[in-house]
Amino acid sequence: MTDLRDLYQELILDHYKRPRNRRRMEPVDRHAEGYNPLCGDRINVYLKMTDGVVRDVSFEGSGCAISTASASLMTEALKGKTVEETRDLFSRFHRLLTTEQSANQEPDLGKLEAFAGVRQFPVRVKCATLAWHTLKAALEQQHETVTTE
């Protein structure tokens, strides 16, 4: 278990230090802005959609290691997914972060499971889900800044 936890920490650190898909996207089909006042994390999420499928996704922002790594891993997980699959992934990711492990039978989230340990730190759950809440706002075309409060 220790090895696995170290591996997860390494993955999070790697995505924090070298975030994937961190760039402004122009032109863009969908965009939303998110803010987590508890930690000070800020993020912009950009989406390119064709026929209800995420063709490209990127983010910009400044935040802690957890929020940045989560945004980076999220962008990797979403390319090619339909809106429906994206919503499903978000609810499973949210469950991973908020439900006891024993009750979580089917996470099947690949690299996103690296965030399972965040469950023990409720304040950090908001950091880990900020990018996802912002993504959801972008999909629903909300134009107000999303906050985790």
Compare residues 36 and 54 and give the one whose CB is closer to Zn ion: 36
Compare residues 109 and 128 and give the one whose CB is closer to Zn ion: 128
Span from 7-15, 53-61, 67-75, 98-106 in contact with Zn ion (CB under 5 A): 67-75
Query: Applying CB under 5 A, does 127 fall inside the site for Zn ion?
Result: yes
Query: Applying CB under 5 A, does 41 fall inside the site for Zn ion?
Result: yes
# of chain residues touching Zn ion (CB under 5 A)? 5
Residues near 88 by Cβ (< 8 Å), separated by ≥ 6? none
Collapsing DSSP to helix, strand or coil, 13 comes out as helix
The rounded Cα 136 to chain-centroid distance in angstroms is 10
Span from 48-56, 82-90, 119-127, 141-149 in contact with Zn ion (CB under 5 A): 119-127
Compare residues 47 and 69 and give the one whose CB is closer to Zn ion: 69
Q: Using an 8 Å Cβ cutoff, are 57 and 22 in contact?
A: no
Between helix 65-78 and helix 122-139 the angle, nearest 10°, is: 40
The rounded Cα 57 to chain-centroid distance in angstroms is 11
In the complex, the residues that contact Zn ion under the rule CB under 5 A are 39, 41, 64, 67, 127
